[in-house]
Amino acid sequence: MARAHASTDIARLETLAEVNSALAGGSSLRAALQRVMQLLDRRDSVVCGSITLLNPDTGLLHVEASEGLASEGRSARYAIGEGVTGRVVESGKPVIVPRASKEPMFLNRARRKNLDRRDISFICVPIQTGKKSVGAISIDLPFEKGRDYPRYVKFLDVVATMIAQAIRVNHLVDAERQRLTEENVHLRGELQERYDFANIVGTSSPMRQVYGQVSQVAGANTTVLVRGESGTGKELIAHAIHYNSPRAKKPFIKVSCAALPDSLIESELFGYERGAFTGAQSRKKGRFELAQGGTLFLDEIGDLNPSTQVKLLRVLQEREFERLGGTEPVKVDVRLIAATNAALEKAIAAGTFREDLHYRLNVFAIFVPPLRERKTDVLLLADHFLERYGVEHGKQVRRISTPAIDILMAYHWPGNVRELENAMERAVLVCDGSVIHAHDLPPSLQTAEASGTVMSQSLGEAVDAYEKDLIEDALKATRGNRVRAASLLRSTERIVSYKVKKYAIDCGRYRT
């Protein structure tokens, strides 16, 4: 007898191991539970059995997996407390009925299927996560004298614990998936907002011309070449085209042709098949495939090497390519936007850029003007970055002082908007009040050569200019009230009045 127990125990341990791997196997919860039922059946030839789970939305129990149940049994729903299963879930305690024929309430159960003459044993254990019952395992076994029922219940209990664990993991995964989906929707919205026209700052006439071109071309599938000096906002324009096109909900994929070495760019663009080269252990999709249905942005196209230029030309002509090491052509539906800050004409003349590729890319060209040719945008952009970085660095910077504005306007901005953005971020960081002063701007803007303005001030004049600036700021803040301006400056009204006269400040200007 003891030997028989030992061998059943070993068999059950094996079953538990299999149950465990079924639940951890990565298939859906329902499929995993069905597999568990099959394993239980195989071990103990159950008459019928089911795993019932509580649906938190309806509050009802429904059969999630079963063996040997007729179809009406599979689709049955029970309330908690209803029937044996319902009561097990309610109480959290197992029910064991070794001989159903001896229990009046189980009579019809025993008569099910064609087992009229045989007696069955009925066992039902709850599935609990924490202290909460979330379902039950019900098993009908053929009655056998000498079966060790408490041991069998213990075994089912372990199975139930494993199932509970799987359910918990499943909920976590679902919650995580839900969170990721929500985050994705949110990020898409944010991206869209970021790259809408609304976030491109500038009302100068060259920029209005650019907006016109973007809206003209966005709706079509036309290849666009965006040109302009470094830092002028070419990438922003490429985004705006994508997010204002019918492809807005599909991917926008960027490849920086200058950042990747020649040996990598082709596999990045076109992907490769397993075994295409040493180290290619599995197939990898290229950016062209990742951009399927959307837009591929080739930044700094002028840096593309000649052999990749040939392949790109072919994709543009035939809308298909092969992965590295592959023979099957891959069809793609991708809109191409390219950008360059170099004069491609020169590269063509020098023989480093293919004329036929240029011709294909240059179907529609947008030229983003340098910042020095749209001076009226400088202040708008400066204010825009002031606000953005004020929020980002948690600083309450409200405005830019007049001398600082003069410097911004006089400077020739070789690094264009990017340089202005960096200067403003730095100013926000170093500024210790609510106003950006001239000395908060980077030194490169303040030297005579760089700003293009000759510094003709003496120290005394510079100090006076700074003092005047401080007083004007204080008067602006107090709407021309000298008493309060003086207290802001931790000075006296007498001194402030004297300086107002000295610098010929018009207080009336601030009294609005």
Residues that bind ligand ATP (CB under 6 A): 200-202, 228, 230-236, 341, 381, 417-418, 421
Token pair belonging to 377: 């945008």
Measured from the CB atom, is 88 or 238 closer to Mg ion? 238
Instruction: Tell which residue, 289, 287, 271, 300, has the closest CA to residue 361.
Output: 300
Measured from the CB atom, is 128 or 341 closer to ligand ATP? 341
Measured from the CB atom, is 40 or 420 closer to Mg ion? 420
Distance CA 160, CA 284 (A): 41
Distance CA 488, CA 182 (A): 48
Contacted entry of Mg ion, ligand ATP, none for residue 309, CB cut-off 5 to 8 Å set by kind: none
> Least distance to ligand ATP from the beta carbon of 336, Å?
16
Measured from the CB atom, is 227 or 358 closer to Mg ion? 227
Size of the site for Mg ion (CB under 5 A): 1
| DSSP-assigned letters across all residues of 386-401 | HHHHHHHTT----EE-
> Least distance to ligand ATP from the beta carbon of 201, Å?
4
Q: Please tell me whether residue 419 binds Mg ion under the rule CB under 5 A.
A: no
Residues numbered 154 to 213 that lie near Mg ion (CB under 5 A) are none
Contacted entry of ligand ATP, Mg ion, none for residue 202, CB cut-off 5 to 8 Å set by kind: ligand ATP
Contacted entry of ligand ATP, Mg ion, none for residue 113, CB cut-off 5 to 8 Å set by kind: none
Contacted entry of Mg ion, ligand ATP, none for residue 289, CB cut-off 5 to 8 Å set by kind: none
Contacted entry of ligand ATP, Mg ion, none for residue 44, CB cut-off 5 to 8 Å set by kind: none
Contacted entry of ligand ATP, Mg ion, none for residue 232, CB cut-off 5 to 8 Å set by kind: ligand ATP
Measured from the CB atom, is 9 or 345 closer to ligand ATP? 345
Instruction: Tell which residue, 236, 327, 322, 314, has the closest CA to residue 285.
Output: 322
> Least distance to Mg ion from the beta carbon of 449, Å?
27
Distance CA 332, CA 293 (A): 8
Cα angle 113, 115, 120 (rounded to 5 degrees) comes to: 110
Contacted entry of ligand ATP, Mg ion, none for residue 111, CB cut-off 5 to 8 Å set by kind: none
Applying CB under 5 A, among 64, 235, 303, 472 the residue interacting with Mg ion is: 235
> Least distance to ligand ATP from the beta carbon of 419, Å?
9
> Least distance to Mg ion from the beta carbon of 235, Å?
4
> Least distance to Mg ion from the beta carbon of 194, Å?
15
Contacted entry of Mg ion, ligand ATP, none for residue 439, CB cut-off 5 to 8 Å set by kind: none
Local structure of residue 370 (DSSP, 8 states): P
Measured from the CB atom, is 86 or 233 closer to ligand ATP? 233
**Which helix (H) or strand (E) is 367 found in, with range?**
strand 364-367
Distance CA 133, CA 106 (A): 23
Measured from the CB atom, is 235 or 469 closer to Mg ion? 235
Range in contact with Mg ion (rule: CB under 5 A) among 111-119, 230-238, 315-323, 437-445: 230-238
Return the residue nearest ligand ATP (CB atom): 233
Contacts 24+ apart (CB under 8 A), 363-366: 363/222, 363/223, 363/224, 363/225, 364/213, 364/217, 364/222, 364/223, 364/224, 364/225, 365/224, 365/225, 365/226, 365/227, 366/210, 366/213, 366/214, 366/217, 366/224, 366/225, 366/226, 366/227, 366/237
Distance CA 466, CA 484 (A): 20
Distance CA 218, CA 224 (A): 9
> Least distance to Mg ion from the beta carbon of 421, Å?
13
Return the residue nearest Mg ion (CB atom): 235
> Least distance to Mg ion from the beta carbon of 455, Å?
34
Contacted entry of ligand ATP, Mg ion, none for residue 201, CB cut-off 5 to 8 Å set by kind: ligand ATP
Task: Return the SS3 of 405.
Answer: helix
Give 388: exposed, middle or buried? Use CB within 10 Å, 0-12, 13-18, 19+: middle
Measured from the CB atom, is 233 or 390 closer to Mg ion? 233
Measured from the CB atom, is 258 or 391 closer to Mg ion? 258
Measured from the CB atom, is 276 or 342 closer to ligand ATP? 342
> Least distance to ligand ATP from the beta carbon of 301, Å?
11
Radius of gyration of the chain (CA): 38
Place of tokens 């179809």: 71
Measured from the CB atom, is 135 or 302 closer to Mg ion? 302
**Which helix (H) or strand (E) is 61 found in, with range?**
strand 60-67
> Least distance to Mg ion from the beta carbon of 240, Å?
13
Measured from the CB atom, is 86 or 231 closer to ligand ATP? 231
Residues numbered 346 to 405 that lie near Mg ion (CB under 5 A) are none
Task: Return the SS3 of 409.
Answer: helix
> Least distance to ligand ATP from the beta carbon of 137, Å?
59
Token pair belonging to 123: 């066992």
| DSSP-assigned letters across all residues of 130-169 | TTEEEEEEEEEEE--TT--HHHHHHHHHHHHHHHHHHHHH
> Least distance to Mg ion from the beta carbon of 301, Å?
11
Q: Where are any strands of DSSP class E within 257-309?
A: 271-272, 284-285, 295-299
Token pair belonging to 147: 């079966």
Contacts 24+ apart (CB under 8 A), 3-10: 5/148, 5/151, 8/148, 8/151, 9/151
Interface positions with Mg ion (CB under 5 A): 235
